[in-house]
Homo-oligomer: A and B are copies of this chain.
Amino acid sequence: MKNRIQEMRKSRKVTQQELADALSVTRQTIISLENGRYNASLTLAHKTAQYFGTTIEELFIFEGDENLIGG
C-alpha cells in the first residue's frame, strides 16, 4: 500500500537517517517503506504516525475503500 511518509518527512526537512533514528529502525527500513518495497508493521506504522503528529489512517493510503480523505 502507498503512504505519505516521504511527503511528510520532506515537508518537515527531516532526513531518512533522522527519521530512522527517531523510530528506532534502520535507514534501509525507511527507504523501503518510502519506495513501497514492503508495508510497515502495525507498531512501526503507529510510531511513524505519532512522530508526524497524525494518524495511521491519514499516513497510509488504503486503496479500495472509503479512506479517501483529501483525495
- Say yes or no for A62: interface residue by CB 8 A criterion: yes
B residues less than 8 Å from A45 (CB atoms) = 42, 45, 56
- Assembly stoichiometry (copies): 2
B residues less than 8 Å from A40 (CB atoms) = 42
CA distance A6 to B71 in the complex (A): 32
B residues less than 8 Å from A60 (CB atoms) = 42, 46
CA distance A56 to B62 in the complex (A): 12
- Say yes or no for A50: interface residue by CB 8 A criterion: yes
Instruction: Scan A32-58; emit 1 where CB is below 8 A from any B CB, else 0.
Output: 000000011111011000100001110
Interface residues of A (CB under 8 A from B): 1, 39-43, 45-46, 50, 55-57, 60, 62, 65
